[in-house]
A and B are shown apart, each in its own frame.
Chain A
């Protein structure tokens, strides 16, 4: 955060110009933290900031009141520079109760601004949170700018006489706090009123009360001259065009819809709810007007099997899941591989193994995506890296799957899926063509497993005259597609299936490198860690180090220029949120290079500082 201080002559208050700021709203589940954070981030977006958000909520729907287990949070990172992540540590923490303060203080920068409802910090509240004494009065927060305010009382005083049901009305205390935060950042209340009106479109009286309370919070801060230093984050220098805010899961759903429209193949989704992938299923269920057929199956296996059936009968078929669900789908993925049908499998990764950390994120399903099936069973593996580019990579996953008649696994993760980002709205006309190899009726040359020069077979859709044929899980005779147990045929078909996937590299974009294209250290990463790793490399370059960054989106096959890039660096380090899956894949794929690795498996993103420390250590080693 770079600061410039401007004296505001009118109020005698200082306004501190920030390049970026991380604000986190935390409270009890049910305190409305998601709504509060969303209003704040939407306002920032409308004021021209770039931003990324991340909701941080417990796995339990309503954990015991005012306990650490029940803490719900929403983090927003706004900037006048480009924002890649929801931010490491907070500049401002807004805490509604003791438990949420206790759980989140460790994520605050030194001297961070804390805005706290002290009405909830009574003896029992502090005890429930595990505080031996009241942190607001025991000087333990001396290293912070503490604003300890009786938010509940202030809200109650304001709404009494305005509403019949005061208890219900007290649910607006998050708005009182938000008004204070708007004042701190000099944000526009009119925008807030507009957004509140939209959110409570069907409940005019609720909308009105929320508007009044947010204004009251703002006025309270203003009249009491609460902040002698206020923050201002100017508009970001974004490319001209239309923008919107989007989460990774919604972007994934929309990317699939776009590919369906472009390819002319109706979308079929067969899925089973699972955290953190469910939003894709819910989103696609909203878009029947675009012809999307969404089948909520009885289990993960039925989800993928219905998708395979739909693919056989001519749909652009998808299934969406998270790690444990992908395990259940393994056998069926093999069926899609051997029947050589298009299928898009989205895995929104979470912490594993087993049920693991459902609401936390890691990159530990790469092996599963690459290898987790019986037999020689290659699939295309693609990974998105930001909430917004989930749209693009979902689209490309569908394109490669449809055009090359093979399953694709798209890896995202919980942070990407649930986090949001500013998204420059594309035009459909600008997206690349998608041309599935559909067999024509009565094609005299049609054979189920006849291949073109890309080794791709034709898609003969049931109902088409003159193309009756059978496919299935038993090995098929080359060209003819009848069942075959011939040893040499099996070898040939196994090689075809692999080469077909490897040849997709001819149609993929080349890998790019951030920074100089040669140097002392190449930092390699993939998937959702792009923002943190890119920031760490930027810092290194600023420090004068010869460090560059290659962030991979195409994993299987690897981009064709991968070896050429690796050969130009003295050292290579692969950073990932697992115990070394991509690095070992690279060791197997390109064994001529030596790879260092940095791994973290805590259900948490990388911190810039820890990455830099590792790079410096490697650069110093002889």
Chain B
């Protein structure tokens, strides 16, 4: 309900220019973050809030320079702590639309604990998780999402750790909103950010982002020109899960697993293809979709899960309203004189 009730709407028409900062953007040329910034500037006027009611919070890393590059209230925090800082911003001032810019180091490693807890609490914030599989700002060490076996500056023989699947971490923590986009699809990014803004609760948008310097082409098996049609499944609520250059492939559920099939082959018809339900409360199928990856299956993009649940900040306000109405202690003088007191 946040979009209607607690955040003031703008009474002027806003444009992209309202959110452009006067600071020089210092990301590397060709970095995926530029596209994310452009998408934010495009979608914020459409969301319709007063421009003073947007607040960006970040941690540390390339992603976390974001607040300096967008003209909103902004707070650049410390490594891993964007999520608890943003929790404080939102709980203290629920009339703000709070956006978190964070990365796979910031929110999956040093801030991993905070990440699962903000998701579990369902604080009404929007997390943009820039996932480039690498520590960029410290120049090329592996992160908790780096694919197993990747050679980086701290894994010269290849990593020997299983990476996190962000979506499954979110759903394991009872997350209410998860979407995945790639930095090469600006239209999808703005659509998903708009939906994230509308969602009441913690919305996590994982952005598969390219780091041109230290992990170039890390998402190439998804975003590469030759493979993207066959390796990206763009989910739309209520529509069959169809993909492929010729729109003839689809996802079916067989023997406890998902399977990619070609419509018209092996007896598979359009009616056999699964239809996406992002509002389904049971996350079972959504988890399976989020885990899909090439070569056998495409990567699921778009809003994978979006369910309604009370937000932490709304519940805080509710408890305060209830206490104000029912507690006989109305001010600190009442408090000081409550309970056992005596006069001398």
Residues of A within 8 A of B (CB): 42, 45-46, 48, 195, 198, 238-245, 254, 257-258, 261, 266, 268, 270, 287-291, 293, 295, 297-299, 301-303, 305-315, 317, 331-332, 334-335, 339, 425-428, 461-474, 482-483
Q: Bound state CA distance, A311 and B55, in angstroms?
A: 14
Docked-complex contact A309 and B89, CB < 8 angstroms: yes
How many pairs, one residue from A and one from B, have CB atoms within 8 Å of each other in the complex? Answer: 208
Whether B39 is near chain A, meaning CB under 8 Å from some CB there, is no
A242 touching B341, Cβ below 8 Å:
yes
B68 surroundings in chain A (CB, below 8 A) = 470, 472, 482-483
Interface residues of B in 18-75 (CB under 8 A from A): 23, 50-53, 55, 57-58, 60, 67-68, 71-75
Closest 9 CB pairs of A and B: A472-B76, A309-B88, A289-B327, A306-B88, A310-B92, A288-B323, A470-B74, A313-B93, A302-B84
Residues of chain B within 8 A (CB-CB) of A339 are: 75
Cβ A305 vs Cβ B88 within 8 A: yes
Whether B257 is near chain A, meaning CB under 8 Å from some CB there, is no
The answer to whether B336 and A465 touch across the interface, beta carbons within 8 angstroms, is: no
Specify which chain B residues have a CB less than 8 angstroms from the CB of A332 in the assembled complex: 78, 81
Instruction: Please give, as numbers and ranges, the residues of chain A lying within 8 Å of B52 by CB-CB distance.
Output: 462-468
Residue from B91, B92, B319, B341 whose CB has the most chain A CB atoms within 10 Å: B92
Contact call B92/A291, Cβ cutoff below 8 A:
no
Bound-complex Cα distance A332 to B323 (A): 32
Given the complex, which residues of A lie within 8 Å of B71, measured CB to CB? 468
Q: Is the CB of B55 within 8 A of A462?
A: yes
Task: Give the residue of A266, A298, A482 whose beta carbon is less than 8 angstroms from that of B23.
Answer: A482
B residues 154-207 with Cβ under 8 Å of A? none
Residue in A195, A298, A313 whose CB lies within 8 Å of B114: A298
Q: Which residues of B contact A428 (CB under 8 A)?
A: 331-333, 336
**Contact across chains for B93 and A298 when beta carbons are under 8 A apart:** no
A290 & B331 in contact (Cβ 8 Å cutoff): yes
B86 at the interface (CB under 8 A from A): yes
Say whether B340 faces chain A, with CB atoms less than 8 Å apart. yes
By a CB distance below 8 angstroms, the chain A residues around B23 are 482-483
Known: A302-B114, A464-B52. Contact between A240 and B344, CB under 8 A?
A: yes
User: What chain A residues lie within 8 Å of B55 (beta carbons)?
Assistant: 313, 462
Residues of B within 8 A of A301 (CB): 81, 84, 114
Chain A residues lying within 8 Å of B75, measured Cβ to Cβ, are: 309, 312, 339, 470-472
Contact partners of B89 in chain A: CB under 8 A: 309-310, 312-313, 462
Residues of B within 8 A of A483 (CB): 23, 68
Residues from chain B with Cβ under 8 Å of A238 in the complex: 344
1/0 per residue, CB under 8 A from A, across B98-122: the answer is 0000000000000001100100000
Contacts A239-B344, A313-B55, A467-B52 hold; do A473 and B76 have CB atoms under 8 A apart?
Answer: yes
Residue of B nearest to A467 (CB): B52
CB distance from A312 to the nearest CB of B (A): 5
Q: Which residues of B contact A287 (CB under 8 A)?
A: 323, 329, 335
What are 21 inter-chain pairs, A to B, with CB distance below 8 A? A243-B342, A244-B342, A254-B335, A287-B323, A289-B320, A290-B329, A290-B331, A298-B84, A301-B114, A305-B114, A308-B85, A309-B89, A312-B75, A313-B88, A313-B90, A313-B92, A462-B89, A463-B8, A469-B73, A471-B74, A472-B76
A residues less than 8 Å from B297 (CB atoms): none
B213: shortest Cβ distance to chain A, in Å? 21
A446 to B149, alpha carbons, bound, how many Å?
52
Closest to A316 in B: B92
